[in-house]
Amino acid sequence: MACNIERHHCDNGVNEYVITTYLDDQGSMIDEADRLLLQETRDLVLQESKSVLSNACFTVIGKRIRVQFHCGDELNECCVHLDGADKPRGHWREHQGDASDTSDEDGSVSSEDTEVAKPPIQWDKLNVTIIPNDQLQRDRKLSTGRFDGKMKGKRVFIRQLMAIDNYELFKREVTILRDLNQDNVIKLYGVCTEPLCIAYDYMEKGTLLDFLRTNKKLSLADGITMSSQIAKGVAYIGSKGYVHRDVAARNVLVGDNNVCKLSDFKMAGKLDKNGIYEMTGDDKIPIKWTAKEVLLEVKCTIKSDVWSFGILLSEIVTRGQAPYPGMTNAEVQKFVVGGYHMPRPENCPRNLYDIMLSCWESDPTDRPSFQKLQRDLAALKL
C-alpha cells in the first residue's frame, strides 16, 4: 500500500498537503480505511517534522509506514510504526540524503526507526586478531572507506569504518567473519582499532559487479561456474547458522582463476533456533535483491538468500545490469509484493531462467536449497 503527497501553495500563503494517489500492493486504488490510515500518518509526519515538505511518498510494509519526503534540497526518510490498533504512532527517525538519490547505492532502506546506544567494543572479548596500526599500510583508495594495502607484507583489502552509526554493524560483521572459514567466503585477517577498520583477503579482480561490466571476454558458461561457487559459499554460511541478506554481485570478490568469495557481511545476521533472523533497527533492506516475505514481515531465512541469488543470476546474464531496469525501489517493492517477477533477460537461456524463477517462488519452502542450485547449475546445458 502506498500513496504520494504533494504540497499545494494556497492564495493565503498556507501550504496544503494533498494525497494525490492511493495504491494497494497490486497497483489498485485502496479502500477508505487505508486511505484514512495514510491521512493520519501524513498528519503525524507534518507535526513531527517541524519543517516544510515539498512532496512525499508513503509506503506501507507490514506494520511500518516508510516515508520519503523533500525538505528544501534535502531528501529525508522516516519510518512510522502502527500500534496494536493499526494507528500510526509518533516514534520515528529522519534520514537525510542527497535529494537526487532516494536510496543507498545498493537500493537499501532502513527497516526500523529505533536508535540503539552503542557502547565501546570490548575487542578482548571478541576473540579477533588485533592489528597494530603501524602494521597496516594503505596503498590505494578504491572507494569511500575501501583501500588495497599490505599487512606484514601480505596484500589485503582494507575497509574502514566511516560513520559512527555503523558501529554495532561493524562489530557484528567482525564477529560473523571470525566464525567463517571456507574457500568461497572472504577470510578475516584481523581488526585495526585506530582508525577502526578490518583487513581481509585481497582479490585481484575486484567485485564481481565490476568484473561483469568490464570483462567482455567472459562467457555465460564462465559466469555460471562462478555462480556455483557463490552458491557454495552461501550454503556454507547457512550451515553455520547465518543469513547473508545481501547476496549481490557487488558483494562478491573475484580473484585469480575467477575464484569467487562472498564478502560484505554488514547486513548478515544470526538465525534463531527456528531458522529465522528478525531484523532490528540498525538493519537495512536492499529492496531489489530482497524476497517478497522479507518486504512484508521483515524476517529472513536462508530461503531469503535463495531469492537474492536468483537476482544475482540475472546480474551475471546481463553483465552487471541493475535488476528491474527502469523501475524505482518503490515500484519494485509494490510489484514484488504483488507477485511480479522480472521477465527473462535478453540472451538468457530458458533453462537458466527456470532456475531463477525457482528462486523467486512466493512460498519460501518451494525454493531450492543451495545444494540443489549447485547441482542444477552444474547440469545446465547452454
Residues with Cβ within 8 Å of 117's Cβ and at least 6 positions away in sequence, in order, are: none
Q: Could you give the angle at the alpha carbon of 26 between the alpha carbons of 22 and 31, nearest 5°?
A: 40
Active-site residues, by number, are: 246
Residue 315 C-alpha cell reads as 546480474
- The one-letter amino acid code at 97 reads G
DSSP state of 323: S
Beta pairing partners, 269: 243
| 120 prior amide bond cis, ω within 30 | no
**Helices 350-359 and 370-378: angle between axes, nearest 10 degrees:** 180
CA distance 96 to 111: 15
Instruction: Report how far apart, in Å, the C-alpha atoms of 56 and of each of 5, 31, 40, 378 are.
Output: 5, 20, 14, 47
Written as one letter, the residue type at 91 is H
β-sheet bridge partners, residue 55:
6, 70
CA-nearest of 61, 146, 142 to 109 is: 61
- Nearest Cα neighbor of 42 from 19, 64, 59 is 19
Question: Do 298 and 278 form a contact (C-beta atoms < 8 A)?
Answer: yes
